[in-house]
Amino acid sequence: YSGKKPGQELAEKLHRITINEVKSVPVVVPEQCTVYDAVVTMFIEDVGTMFVVREGGLLEGVISRKDLLKNTLGGQDIHKLPVGVIMTRMPNIIYVEPDTSVWEAARRLIAHEVDALPVVRLVKAKEGQTDLEVVGRFSKTNVTRLFVELGEGGY
Ligand code: ADP
């Protein structure tokens, strides 16, 4: 017996497990993608949140279920409206990096009241700027799956 309280052992596990170990494949669309096509993609890919990227998979924005729902009620032509107009845009995107702990990532989901976070790799760009290359997706489903695996004695 390690002498640690069970709660402390779980806490250490959650700090040790990284996003890289539990992340999902991201679903991405370009900024020119119409709201109509984004809805279709959301159903086909079975996700609630999609990431909007430019060439090279670089993060531009996030588009959620409610962003799409809201704009289908607005009376605009969803076959013409691009997601770039309605998405939540950089620099207002909450993200994680592959080596972020699952505890920190789940804390960000709760703190910012969002369902999913893009997993990004920081890429040096021109003029001292940093681009975010989308390499994964971390959602509340990932947290639930990890919860089940921890309950089964995994990790
Ligand atoms: P839903 O719209 O299905 O309730 P969310 O609660 O995740 O999904 O999204 C709420 C709002 O927050 C939406 O406008 C969405 O664009 C935005 N959003 C979602 N994920 C993020 C994120 N990682 N960073 C910043 N904003 C986000």
CATH code of the domain containing 91: 3.10.580.10
Q: Is 62 in the pocket of ligand 1 (CB under 6 A)?
A: yes
In a domain, 84, yes or no: yes
Q: Is the CB of 17 under 6 A from ligand 1?
A: no
Ligand 1 atom 4: residue of nearest CA: 66
- Ligand 1 site, residue 45, Cβ cutoff 6 A: no
Q: Is 1 contained in some domain? A: no
The answer to the question of residue 122 being in a domain is yes
Q: What is the mean pLDDT of the chain?
A: 95
Q: Which residue's CA is minimally distant from atom 17 of ligand 1? A: 88
Sort 73 into a burial class: Cβ within 10 Å, 0-12 / 13-18 / 19+. Answer: exposed
Structure ipTM: 0.97
Position 112 in a domain: yes
Give the pLDDT of residue 4. 79
Residues counted in the chain = 155
Query: Is 69 buried (19+), middle (13-18) or exposed (0-12) by CB count in 10 A?
Result: exposed
* CA gap 122, 142 in Å, rounded: 22
For position 1, what pLDDT does the model report? Answer: 60
Q: Is the CB of 66 under 6 A from ligand 1?
A: yes
How many structural domains compose the chain?
A: 1
pLDDT digits (tens, 9 = 90+) for 56-100: 999 999 999 999 999 988 888 999 999 999 999 999 999 999 999
pTM beyond 0.90: the answer is yes
> What is the 151 CA–ligand 1 centroid distance (Å)?
29
The closest residue, in CA terms, to atom 8 on ligand 1 is 64
Q: Is the CB of 81 under 6 A from ligand 1?
A: no
State the closest ligand 1 atom to the C-alpha of 62, by its place in the atom list counted from 1. 16
Its domain, for residue 85, covers: 6-151
pLDDT single digits (tens) 13-23? 999 999 999 99
* pLDDT number for residue 7: 85
d(Cα 126, Cα 114) in Å, to the nearest integer? 31
Residue 64: inside a domain: yes
pLDDT, tens digit, 9 for 90 and up, residues 107-134:
999 999 999 999 999 999 999 999 999 9
Between CA 14 and CA 143 the distance in angstroms is 11
Q: How far apart are CA 107 and CA 104, in angstroms?
A: 5
